[in-house]
Amino acid sequence: MLADYGYIGLLLVVAIFFAVTTLLLPFFLSFPSRLVIYFRRFTQYLETHYPFLVRFIPPLPKFPRFMQVVPYNPNPVKSSTFECGMETIGTAWVRFNFRYYFYALVFIALDVLVVFLYPWAVELRGLGLFGLIAALVFIFIIVIGYIYAWRKKVLEWK
């Protein structure tokens, strides 16, 4: 049994490695393009602050065209957040409607019910009628809360 969890843990490592590599690949492919941009920013910075140093910077080697096939060319408009083509107003990190959290609260109550039903379901044949009655009492208690929530209109989208 322990070996099975070993398999899963090692698969997790491979999956994370795969996802991270996939994300890093375009970064490395766009590295020449990035270098050009970074270099331009650096020279601009020097020109404004230390103009006498500019003549000492060696020029950037010319990259062949095929190495710059993945572009990197950000500008303020491109990297602003999208908002239907208008200028972005404010931030999205604001207080959110409470409506969504009602469902989360009901979910927490009912999810506990479900978790306890799993071991019960595996062993029901062994437990017999007593097991069924015990589970019914348990479900009954939760269902009272559920009906209360329904009557209080928690489940309505209002």
Stretch of residues binding other proteins (CB under 8 A), selected from 17-25, 41-49, 50-58, 59-67: 17-25
Q: Read off the tokens for 4.
A: 């099975």
Contact 80, 88 (CB under 8 A): yes
Smaller CB separation from other proteins, 43 or 68: 68
**Angle of CA points 146, 148, 149, to nearest 5°:** 65
Other C-beta atoms closer than 10 Å to the C-beta of 32 total 19
In angstroms, rounded to a whole number, what is the distance separating the alpha carbons of residues 137 and 133? Answer: 6
SS (H, E, C) 32-90: HHHHHHHHHHHHHHHHHHCHHHHHHCCCCCCCCHHHHCCCCCCCCCCCCCCCCCCCCCC
Position 114 contacts other proteins (CB under 8 A): yes
Position 11 contacts other proteins (CB under 8 A): yes
According to CB under 8 A, which residues from 119 to 158 bind other proteins? 121-122, 124-125, 128-129, 132, 135-136, 139, 143, 146, 150, 155-157
Task: Provide, rounded to whole angstroms, the least separation between the CB of residue 113 and other proteins.
Answer: 8
Taking CB under 8 A as the criterion, the residue among 79, 86, 95, 151 binding other proteins is 79
**Which residue is associated with the tokens 């230390």?**
50
Position 36 contacts other proteins (CB under 8 A): no
Interface residue list for other proteins (CB under 8 A): 1, 3-8, 10-12, 14-16, 18-20, 22-23, 25-27, 29-30, 69-74, 76, 78-84, 88, 91-93, 96, 100, 103-104, 106-107, 110-111, 114, 117-118, 121-122, 124-125, 128-129, 132, 135-136, 139, 143, 146, 150, 155-157
